[in-house]
Structure 1
């Protein structure tokens, strides 16, 4: 008697699959996901190039920073993919819970954190350190979007006032560290969302005055801010060692670079694996790779924005817009600082620079962007 023929096991998702993973498979932007994966790969390549000299300066093993980053990359990928699976409602819920947790961590940082170069921004966790402000950036962007959207769609709900209060609280905690640069980035993202939500001319004038006043106050009250601005405006007024080395790296790299591992400037650039990793890309791989990195960030932002062109949810538009502004602004600050286009600011290049907190927070941001830009049929719950 012949044996019954068994149907082959299903090895892929079909469009009829209504499970959580099945819906994710057919609605996520795979092109955007591929661009993010390329950025992560370039980050590992550049840390492999810039890490050994930095490790030698602290007496660690040759591949100390590479090995530590490799530990975080799989975790970051899992975090990004796990969040991208969530529906919009759960993206918002997750962001609110994460924001509350990291706000508590931010409050505890002055008491539990370690003082590094006059700033208390990191909480030691064994061999690693947590920087709560990195995670406040993406989660607060989503919380602020929720408040602005609720203010417009729910009568008598003071969402704008709540958002203003939260921004003031976050800003005060960051300035106390002190971390004026992070404060400016978060405030800029929040201001962009406020603008997209449709703020009145009164609020435009008030926010502009507050921003100018805050910048002037920071210049006069924070010596390190004043020093960086003065050195940018007048290079002869102070030490320009790092920026001179960074510019030298771009000059020596030319169009196609000196070759992988052949860079010399990274031997003398203390932050070559973090704040000035773009200079390492310029010296070893030339203008070609620098333009590719710029193009990848531009592509990610434009691609996600195009996916939102038919979006009708104000919350989704504000949340995704804030997250994309944050990614783009941070990338611009890092690259422009390396090229001496703006005063230097210790800020990592997303997905490229060394740093566990930076990598995980960027993965968190991109996971929420992937979730918010997934295709949704009319009537799908938010």
Structure 2
């Protein structure tokens, strides 16, 4: 327990007595599960692909999760003004890097989503675009709604269309769907009327249909989901077997078999490894932690009067919850498969750092504030 006096007016002191420690504890618990799952899943994957060390992925993820924890805690100490500034800077940088992937990106499985940076390795800049755009869009929409600056709302829509064009060019349809869902959720919370909701919903359905027609990999995933015999469903089939083998309490740590045969056992299908080795109980605990963060965050917003904070936090929570849902539902064959990480639990440097940035924004925005002047301190 950190010993900080209530009379301490330093940044650390104010942070400790105003941050939502329950949400912080839940996020740190998810990071803890990330360490455990990398120790359980990654050595077998490294050995199977012939890596120089069995612990290559695990050691990297230790660094990523440590850095993510530091980022989340540091960002959570910011005031509202600083959050907006950091989001704008991060958005501008990430947007330029996403555009750079179309020219100098590393092509993997027909997609250009990554940049190879000396001393860093692969970077997926679109991951950082998600939390930063959620905050930027919230500010622009709030300006249009509260201060009647309709140019700000138009700018938000223009930036979304720019992002949509860049993500389509990569292509990364899954990322585009998440950004779209978050952007729409923010407009809905801001008071979008029912007619507009129906119109935007129709556009979303039309866009999904267009993606199905234009992109063969989207079409293939839908076909395989609807008819398992229509193509290769190896990973999903093995993942479902892993959940069945794990039962209620699991085979036990290190006793799982799925990690030896599943290509993405440490990444997109890490939830299946958790199901086999630790069983249904631990899977439900992980699910409960994600639900707690989302519900707790929404409850904290009930008494909030600043529209910007409401929209930004709602967008960040939608993004966090939706990403977790897509990963877990894909592993359970409830939706077509989509290569999306489980926040803080799956392997991946760009993903875990971007999620930490978003959750740092959330913790900073949902801190208790005694007055508006507190936001500037």
TM-score bracket for this pair, using the shorter chain length: over 0.9
Deviation for aligned residue 1:129: 1.0
Is the alpha carbon distance of 1:156 and 1:69 closer, same or farther for their aligned partners in structure 2, counting shifts above 3 Å? closer
Please say if 1:297 is aligned against 2:301.
no
Residue 30 (structure 1) aligns with: 21
Is the alpha carbon distance of 1:157 and 1:225 closer, same or farther for their aligned partners in structure 2, counting shifts above 3 Å? same
Q: Secondary structure at the match of 1:124?
A: strand
Deviation for aligned residue 1:303: 1.5
Deviation for aligned residue 1:302: 1.4
Task: Give yes or no for contact 2:31–2:344 (8 Å, CA) kept in 1.
Answer: yes
Q: Deviations over 1:113-143 (max 9, x none)?
A: 1101111101012352110110011000001
Please say if 1:88 is aligned against 2:77.
no
Q: Deviations over 1:292-341 (max 9, x none)?
A: 00000011111222222211000000000000000000000000000000
Residue 112 (structure 1) aligns with: 104
Structure 1 unaligned regions, length at least 5: 1-10
1:63 pairs, out of 42, 49, 55, with 55
Q: Secondary structure at the match of 1:155?
A: coil
TM-score (norm 2): 0.96
Deviation for aligned residue 1:203: 2.7
More displaced 10-residue stretch of structure 1: 200-209 or 183-192? 200-209
Deviation for aligned residue 1:381: 4.7
Please say if 1:241 is aligned against 2:237.
no
2:253 pairs, out of 236, 255, 260, with 260
Residue 72 (structure 1) aligns with: 64
RMSD of equivalent CA atoms: 1.2
State the distance in 2 between where 1:108 and 1:238 align: 34
Q: Secondary structure at the match of 1:158?
A: helix
State the distance in 2 between where 1:21 and 1:53 align: 41
Structure 2 unaligned regions, length at least 5: none
State the distance in 2 between where 1:322 and 1:88 align: 16
State the distance in 1 between where 2:305 and 2:140 align: 17
Residue 204 (structure 2) aligns with: 211
TM-score (norm 1): 0.95
Consecutive aligned runs of 4 or more in structure 1 exceeding 6 Å deviation = none
Q: How many residues align?
A: 372
